[in-house]
Amino acid sequence: MHHHPIGTLLGPQLSRSPDFFRLSADQVNFFHERGYVSGLRVLLDEQVETLRMELADLADPKHPGHALFYEYHSNESTTPDHILFHALGAWRITPGFHDLLWNPAFTIPAAQLLDGPVRFWHDQLFCKPAHHGGVVAWHQDYSYWTRTQPLAHLTCWIGLDDSTRENGCLQYIPGSHRWPELPITGLAGDMEAIHGVLSAEQREQFDAAVTVELKKGEASFHHPRLVHGSFANHSDQARRATVINAMRDGVCSATNESLLHGVPVISAGEKIGGQFFPLLQRSA
Ligand SMILES: O=C(O)CCC(=O)C(=O)O
């Protein structure tokens, strides 16, 4: 309903000059070269705390806003002894996850990396509890988004806990954003499933996987074709994260079906916009 911040989450960021949030040329070049740029602070500890409290409420399927989720899996893991909470659409339900989209610490770097105005696609929550958190299997994001064209998308992963190798932090295969599109091999099941669709040369690149350890409130941006995933959480620390998926303004629908559950159809070939896809940042 509101294409601007409605609450108080972003006070500290909104009082700063946009230049404070701009990536350096080295950071932008690193992103184009490797397919990601990480370690950027987007939230203060008290803002993380606000989102954690909203998340705790949203994790209850009896939450009054529950029907507004586009997708909701209290456990998407394929093994019952592991848990991966995964949900799309929190921005429609609570003020913090709504306002987060307009955080200049996200929108300004996003405009630089997309090289144009930033339109919102959807958000995601990925949470692994301590001791028995599930995996997010290696994948490319765009494999899930071919119903939108052209490929001009960006993902921003934001930690709501410190993420470490032990609690299942994000991992990247640097340079894999230049690989062609890979088929979907499952999001929350077998970590190794992707190997069945890779060449021997691509498989070798997994030796160079990068472990993206972040403090809570820090973010990592990645290209929609960068292969990434995260291992199980057997530590005594939860690993919660929120993700913003954005696209350059001008990306079109490539389907005559609803792009997200419950959202009115945007016909194939028509530019994506309107109530469910706000413009977040006008210029790079
Ligand atoms: O949170 C994770 O471990 C994976 C997140 C992910 O797949 C993404 O941000 O695209």
What is the tens place of the pLDDT at every residue in 196-228?
999 999 999 999 999 999 999 999 999 999 999
Nearest residue (by CA) to ligand 1, atom 10, is 141
Nearest atom within ligand 1 for CA of residue 141: 10
Residue 149, domain member (yes or no): yes
Average pLDDT over residues 47-56: 98
pLDDT given at position 283: 82
Query: 56 alpha carbon to ligand 1 midpoint, in Å?
Result: 19
Q: 181-193 pLDDT, tens per residue?
A: 999 999 998 999 9
Q: Residues 162, 216: contact at Cβ < 8 Å?
A: yes
Nearest atom within ligand 1 for CA of residue 228: 7
Looking only at Cα atoms, what is the longest distance across the chain? 51
In a 10 Å sphere around its CB, with 0-12 CB exposed, 13-18 middle and 19+ buried, how is residue 54 labelled? buried
Residue 27, domain member (yes or no): yes
The yes-or-no verdict on residue 23 having pLDDT over 80 is yes
SS3 266: coil
The yes-or-no verdict on residue 86 having pLDDT over 90 is yes
Residue 4, domain member (yes or no): no
**CA separation, residue 48 to residues 20, 30, 42, 52, 200 (Å):** 20, 27, 10, 6, 41
Residue 43, domain member (yes or no): yes
Q: How far apart are the first and last CA of the chain?
A: 25
- Strand ranges (DSSP E) for the chain? 36-41, 71-73, 85-88, 118-128, 136-139, 148-149, 153-159, 170-172, 210-212, 218-222, 228-230, 239-248, 252-253, 279-281
Q: Using most ligand atoms within 8 A of CB, pick from 71, 138, 155 the residue to mutate for ligand 1.
A: 155
Residue 263, domain member (yes or no): yes
Residue 21: pLDDT band with limits 50, 70, 90: very high
Nearest atom within ligand 1 for CA of residue 241: 1
Average pLDDT over residues 153-167: 98
Residue 3, domain member (yes or no): no
pLDDT given at position 85: 97
Nearest residue (by CA) to ligand 1, atom 7, is 229
Average pLDDT over residues 58-63: 96
pLDDT given at position 243: 98
Residue 110 maps to which CATH number? 2.60.120.620
Q: Using most ligand atoms within 8 A of CB, pick from 230, 231, 244, 245 the residue to mutate for ligand 1.
A: 230
Average pLDDT over residues 47-61: 97
**CA separation, residue 68 to residues 72, 74, 144, 145, 245 (Å):** 10, 15, 21, 20, 18
Distance of CA 110 to the CA centre of its chain: 12
Q: What is the pTM of this model?
A: 0.98
Ligand 1 pocket, CB under 6 A: 126, 136, 141, 155, 157, 170, 228, 230, 241, 243
pLDDT given at position 3: 97
% the chain with pLDDT above 90: 98
Residue 239 pairs with which residues in a beta bridge? 128
SS3 235: coil
* Residue 80 structural domain: 11-281
Split into its structural domains, the chain has a count of 1
**Nearest Cα to Cα of residue 185 among 126, 149, 144:** 144
The yes-or-no verdict on residue 80 having pLDDT over 90 is no
pLDDT given at position 228: 98
Residue 5, domain member (yes or no): no
DSSP, residue by residue, 144-195: G-TTEES--EEEEEEESS-B-TTTT-EEE-TTGGGS-PPPP--SSS-TTGGG
